A = this chain, B = another copy of it.
């Protein structure tokens, strides 16, 4: 999907709502891209499927010895660096699949509304420690973000097979693009993993690669 105001291809921002690093990146990527005349397509995928099926990571990251301890220290440190509020609802208390299905249902209608909704989900889970798990909680966020339509019963649509299949297809598309972690950015076919690569994404856009 290209920005109608630009001939340059959009940047793909791949994310799963579970990751605080995706939350950090979500607050920066649109402005970063706009400075280079680029738009951003936000694309939700299901990280857990890739971890289990492709990476062979059956232990949740936060429960992994040493690495989990590092992440628990790094996440608040990076939140301070980004200047963002951080009070996580906890990985164990949040399953992102309903939120991602809702995001994709909204994104089919209006990409800008879907970004507002996504920002609301990130904030609810990572800044307010209120992980939005249920269709009703997600409908509330969609309503707050004006991402609702009279002919879309979002809460009813989230658990349908069609919505589940849509998330599976998005996850397949992520893997086809080479995505294996969240957040990831794809710029003209070049993938970058991690919120701490935003500076390199910026440099790649400025220099046109290297």
Contact = CB atoms under 8 A, between A and B. Distances in A.
A70 B178 contact: yes
A210 B80 contact: yes
Interface string A114-144: 0000000000000000000000000000000
Nearest to A58: B56
Contact of A196 (B55, B65, B200): B200
A179 interface: yes
Interface residues of A, number: 31
Contact of A178 (B66, B81, B179): B66
A54 interface: yes
Interface in A43-82: 50, 54-56, 58-59, 64-67, 69-70, 73-74, 77, 80-81
A210 B77 CA distance: 8
Nearest to A73: B191
Interface of A: 50, 54-56, 58-59, 64-67, 69-70, 73-74, 77, 80-81, 175, 178-181, 190-191, 193-194, 196-197, 199-200, 210
